[in-house]
Amino acid sequence: MKKFSLYTLALLVGALTIFSCQEKDRAFPEFDELEKGAYPRLVEGVNGDLDYENFDNPDSSSLSFTVEFYDENNGAGVSEYSWSAKYGTFGPATFKTFTTSDFTTNADGLPQLTATLTFAEIFAALGMTIDDFELTTDFQLDATLTMSNGKSFTYDNTGTNIIGQPTFQGLFRYTPAVTKKPCNSILAGTFAAETKATDQGAGIGWDACAGTTYSTTVRLDAEHDAATFDPGSYVPYSINDNGVELEDGSMGVYYTCYTGTLTDDTGAALPLGDVRIIESCGKMGFVGASQWGEVYTFVKVEVDGPVLSLGWTNDYGEGGEVELTRDDGNAWQSDLFCEGC
């Protein structure tokens, strides 16, 4: 029995020796050819967005972030970190490249970059202007990380575990938000108008006219190009008893109190001046002043389907309400408002 056990043990030792030698001698030449990647880990950010109304101002239309770089040598092999942009049919185009001279070394000994990308740079690289911007299209920003050995890594050749996992947060692609998105101003048209004088308690003759009404037609004539995203500017007109259309910042309310205006085809007693109604992304207001220097303010803007109810005052103490009714089967845009109303 003892003899058998020693023999068996000898066989086992021999087998282990053979297998051990085989394992030791097994070559793995592919190791040096394996792709050893690198990635930029997001440390802080991304902060900022595109402010449409100030798209070329870096203080309000830029993105900022901090990344640290990883590779098999603690990021030492990273040589460049560049960003390109694509917008609809524009691009892609590279708009910013950072090199090792832009990197610092953080407390962990890794190369680190604090970067700012401006939309002015993006627009210039893409060869587009703000007029090319559309509400339904997003910017796509893509990063390329280049190694000193010539290899490069992007969103397309980096695993989703590196890009999507909170531990890694590889910053290779970003879609920025847009604030103050542009809106077409489309208030122009001709509307049936019911007007009424209101009492502002100013101690002027106008106060006695409070509650007096007049029916007329009001036209808002656009001074801007409604096909662009510029804020809307409108010249208001009304029609007097003679059927004459006159520029009228009161939108027909003056007829309720200053009865001489009803048959004066010169409009000399109407506000005139450069009173304009403005609208931007729903917000309505007045600019300019009457021929007497009076400044107008909206105190009411309400929409009920095809009826737009407006209330205004001026710094002389006059005030009125106007209901503008569409007859084209459409409703007024529901987001109209006045600040402070």
d(CA 74, CA 68): 10
Q: What is the pLDDT of residue 79?
A: 97
Q: What is the pLDDT of residue 23?
A: 42
Residue segments in the chain with a per-residue pLDDT below the cut of 70: 1-36, 135-136, 159-168, 179-182, 228-230
Q: What is the pLDDT of residue 262?
A: 96
The residues spanned by each domain of the chain are: 36-179, 189-325
Q: What is the pLDDT of residue 181?
A: 58
Stated pTM of the model: 0.53
**In CATH, 36-179 is 2.60.40.1940:** yes
Q: What is the pLDDT of residue 281?
A: 81
Triad 55, 124, 57: Cα angle to 5°? 25
Q: How many other C-beta atoms can be found within 10 angstroms of the C-beta atom of residue 30?
A: 7
Tokens of 114: 């604090």
